[in-house]
Homo-oligomer: A and B are copies of this chain.
Amino acid sequence: MNGVAGVRLGTGRGGISASKVYEGRDDVLVMAIDPGASVAGVFTQNGFRAPPVYMAEERLAAGEVRALLVNTGNANAATGKEGFARAHTCCRMLAEKLEIDADSVLPFSTGVIGEQLPLEAMRVGIGKATEVLALDAWPQAAEAIMTTDTIPKLQVRDLEIGGRKVSIRGIAKGAGMIAPNMATMLAFVATDAGIERGLLAERLSRFTEESFNRVTVDGDTSTNDACILVATGASGVRADEESEGFWSALRDLMNELASALIEDAEGGNKTVRVLVEGGRSSDECRRVARSVAESPLVKTAIFAEDANWGRICMAIGNAGLEDFDQSLVDVYIGELPVMKGGLASPDYDEQAASLVMREATYGLRIALGRGSARGEMLTSDLSHEYVKINADYRT
């Protein structure tokens, strides 16, 4: 596979965690970025954000970014000043290997909370990763950031702009936002298009809203979530606000990575798109979609393939919309109307609705009848496996 000019990747095993999850797997990823790239990032808003999250956000704002350092097996969260000191040390280790400024390294961690990062293991992992830096190591990178994910998540887009080739690559991990390791969502996307930094940040923020912020498994966001977008400019092609083909490819790549997170959700067997339309604002549509997508009662019904639309009503009603009029609301399972105007649909066919729900992927559509805005969420089911995985795992 071709990579992205200006970004070299390397992975290595430091042995950061003794947990079986990581047995025999690389646990350190280094992404080395050529000088002159634009970089943007979005970070978790969780109040217990980990030291590396604070550091990455600060350094991104302060100056040039020359490398990303990612480790699994330890989240370096709830680790206090010592956690900051150790993340600093790791960045310095990498900076020395790459002969760059230590402040130009952004750290990312995912794994167990409340334990200090093992420095010797990090040193070993960083050493190995920097020895194998290569443009085409995206597949290895996608594997090295996995925790309890069952499949690596890599998306590739190549397109032409003005007769010249532009590449976009993205990797993500999550195991459904619910995994034993706190389900940190990490995503790293890079392109060799040249993009002005403000525009890059604005588009990352917008596309993140539409992709990663649209998937939910249980509403828990982690202490370490982050998404980084790098534009090296090494292709010689500039992308600006007019570059519709480029932005649409980038948006599509991020949407696919987000969907892959739900498809790989721990204990999840279903991918359900909850589309809410006819709202007064996209914000209220998203609120309703989230209430439905996160309701344990709805999610157990999805698992049971039970066309229990009363639970959907209940969840819609729990979103707390002002001046809400239930008599305007229609609900569809797939294309089948189950509720019309706040009542059981006259055409309601429970068997047909249950057939739709046997599919691995389908949509729930809710029409609020009070406006023209839309919003959506992707969700999975709440299964026996969800409880098993999250109850049986020991930190």
Contact = CB atoms under 8 A, between A and B. Distances in A.
A165 B3 CA distance: 84
A155 interface: no
A49 interface: yes
Interface stretch (A18-26, A144-152, A219-227, A272-280): A219-227
Nearest to A321: B47
Interface string A108-137: 000011110000000000000000000000
A272 to B, nearest CB: 15
B47 A310 contact: no
Nearest to A341: B80
A164 to B, nearest CB: 44
B315 A220 contact: yes
Interface string A377-394: 000001110111011111
Given A113-B314, A223-B313, A314-B223, A300 B78 contact: no
Which one of A79, A300, A314 has the greatest number of beta carbons of chain B within 10 Å?
A314
Interface string A210-242: 000000001111110000000000000000000
Nearest to A112: B310
A78 B310 contact: yes
Contacts of A141: none
A309 interface: yes
A114 B306 CA distance: 15
Given A301-B390, A310-B182, A384-B384, A320 B78 contact: no
A181 B309 CA distance: 12
B314 A46 contact: yes
Given A223-B314, A296-B390, A386-B387, A47 B342 contact: no
Which one of A301, A310, A320 has the greatest number of beta carbons of chain B within 10 Å?
A310
Contact of A114 (B313, B315, B327): B313
Nearest to A392: B304
A282 B78 CA distance: 25
A219 B220 CA distance: 13
Which one of A220, A327, A393 has the greatest number of beta carbons of chain B within 10 Å?
A220
Contacts of A390: 296-297, 300-301, 304
A77 B313 contact: yes
A113 B301 CA distance: 14
Given A384-B391, A386-B387, 7 more contacts: A77-B310, A78-B326, A78-B343, A223-B317, A303-B391, A304-B391, A304-B393
24 contacts: A46-B314, A47-B318, A47-B326, A48-B313, A48-B314, A48-B326, A49-B317, A49-B326, A78-B313, A78-B339, A112-B310, A113-B311, A114-B343, A183-B297, A221-B314, A223-B317, A296-B386, A297-B390, A300-B391, A301-B390, A301-B391, A304-B391, A383-B387, A384-B391
